A and B are shown apart, each in its own frame.
Chain A
Amino acid sequence: MKLIFEIGSEGRKLSLLPECDVPETAVPEKLKRRSELHLPHLSENEISRHYTKLAKRTHGVNDGFYPLGSCTMKYNPKVNEETAALKGFTRVHPLQREDTVQGSLEVIKTISDSLCEIAGMDAFTMQPAAGAHGEFTGLLLIKAYHTDHNDSRRTKIIVPDSAHGTNPASAAMCGYEIVSIPSAEDGCVDLDALRAAVGEDTAGLMLTNPNTVGLFDKNITEITRIVHEAGGLCYYDGANLNAVMGLVRPGDMGFDCVHINLHKTFSTPHGGGGPGSGPVGCKEFLKPFLPGYQITVDDSGMYHYSVGDKTVGAVKQFHGNFSVVVRALTYILFLGKEGIPEASSNAVLNANYMRKKLDDLYTMAYDTTCMHEFVMDLSELKHRTGCSALDVAKGLLDYGIHPPTMYFPLIVHEALMVEPTETEPREVLDEAIEVLRKLYETAESDPESLHSAPHTTVIGRPDEVGAARHPIVRYIWED
């Protein structure tokens, strides 16, 4: 298929942009570019066909089952799009006077209050653009807190070895030294290792619960107590909140601050590079450090901006990705207090249903009731048949199923991590179970056909090594 740069012809254009309705100002001479901007010239028809063609070559939640572990690829209700497209939200500017954007302020206030209730926190900032940005912001709060207490000895962040790679990366970006602690046999935090790791130099702990292998850590309150007794703070990575929203609260587990992935747990589109939204919440004692704006409401019902007196400063402009926030609030209000925990319960039920219907064939990394996702270990299959987790993942493509997450978490070899989410009906799960069982048999009877899978897609096995070693990241025009 041709790139967008290779189609169209000089002079073709479209008229989608509305007329300018504000006074024009000339760009100062010194800011103007000296060479002409090279852009493709296309008609609306050509653009439309180009992107439709691209869309047909991909697989999204709207195409079929997408059990990509740790990514919560749930269906995003279309009503979210309707509210996000309301003119009162799309035709406003963050620099407008408060009294002209009361509706938008009410959105931020309402979702902050809802997320406080769900997470067991006292305040939220909407600024962080996604999960890792939220992690970084949460660590800024922890750092600001210790600095405010003139405690400069706390230079280390404890991260379990099953954590998402972004955890240690965010801590390092924040200037912290990482202490990685091993998981115990049962996949949970090794308490003795944690006790040995904490001390006067502990700034905090980063943890996700349920953890990366889909298990709820039974010792969670003991874990946060150990860290608090050493003087550290506890950060909750909301990556896996979809298993427990409305059922158990990070604040009650002993966490001091959290981030929540609105784009995962609260059903806004993701997977195509964003925009996401990773609001950060905290307990009262960290509130003064929050970045961005808090919304307060006065006696007359008017909403106002307020900024914490010890704020760490902005981590993004204004109110983050506001239109994503509108979508997430729509979802929260649509589900309500009963629907939110029900969604999580169904996510857990779906994962356990699939796990139980597969565990006589596939080896489960941890043979116990899981939360919203489970991890299969294909080492034995690979050893015996030569078919790896990658081969099985590729085989799924031939049946119109997006592969699960592969080779993660790193503590499980040949891992396939399956997260069905709550938005799939039983028939879809049954079909996926049947396909996975069939692929297992194919691995035994005809491994060659799996090595060369997929056979039906436009692209089979992209040259990942070549792409990593010699990436081509821009188009070079011929002239």
Chain B
Amino acid sequence: MALLYSKSHEWVNMIDDTTATVGLTDYAQSELGELVFVNLPEEGDDVEAGTPFADVESVKAVSDVYSPVTGTVAEINEELLDAPGNINEEPYEAWMIRVENISDKEELMDEAAYKEYVSTLSEE
């Protein structure tokens, strides 16, 4: 299943119509730099498309991570709490949350569109 991407640099892997995993893109992790801390929601929490569900801390700053979908957190990737660097090393493997009962989505891009979008950012 191909990944979808948000403008705020999260990826979504739709497992089926109402379930997905969410993580940060390679571009996001390279802009943030080495992560030293990840703050995740709890299982059962509701997430809403376009609002923050987690935050990540690098040596530079703390940044919000926005949920691309509306739904309920079914599982969190607890491994990240002890190994935030996994996001830097393998951003597309290091999923942050698995969301179920997805009822709404942000406008998301496919890989080609996201690449195009990122290239406009680095030209600035």
Contact = CB atoms under 8 A, between A and B. Distances in A.
Q: Do A and B bind each other?
A: yes
Interface of A: 165, 379, 383, 407, 410, 464-465, 468-469
B61 A468 contact: no
Contact of A465 (B36, B61, B122): B36
Nearest to A466: B36
Interface of B: 34, 36-37, 57, 59-62, 84-85, 122, 124
A383 B119 CA distance: 13
Contact of A464 (B59, B61, B84, B124): B59
Contacts of A383: 122
Contact of B36 (A165, A407, A410, A468): A468
A407 B84 contact: no
19 contacts: A165-B62, A379-B124, A383-B122, A407-B60, A407-B61, A410-B61, A464-B59, A465-B34, A465-B36, A465-B59, A465-B85, A468-B36, A468-B37, A468-B57, A468-B59, A469-B36, A469-B37, A469-B84, A469-B85
Nearest to A410: B61
A465 B88 CA distance: 12
Interface of A is mostly: helix
Nearest to A464: B59
Nearest to A379: B124
Contacts of B59: 464-465, 468
Nearest to A389: B60
A469 to B, nearest CB: 5
Contacts of B124: 379
B72 to A, nearest CB: 23
Contacts of A410: 61
Contacts of A379: 124
B97 to A, nearest CB: 22
Q: Which 7 A-B pairs have the closest CB atoms?
A: A468-B36, A464-B59, A465-B34, A407-B60, A469-B36, A410-B61, A465-B36
A468 B62 CA distance: 13
Q: Which residue, of B59, B61, B85, has the highest number of chain A Cβ atoms within 10 A?
A: B59
Contacts of A407: 60-61
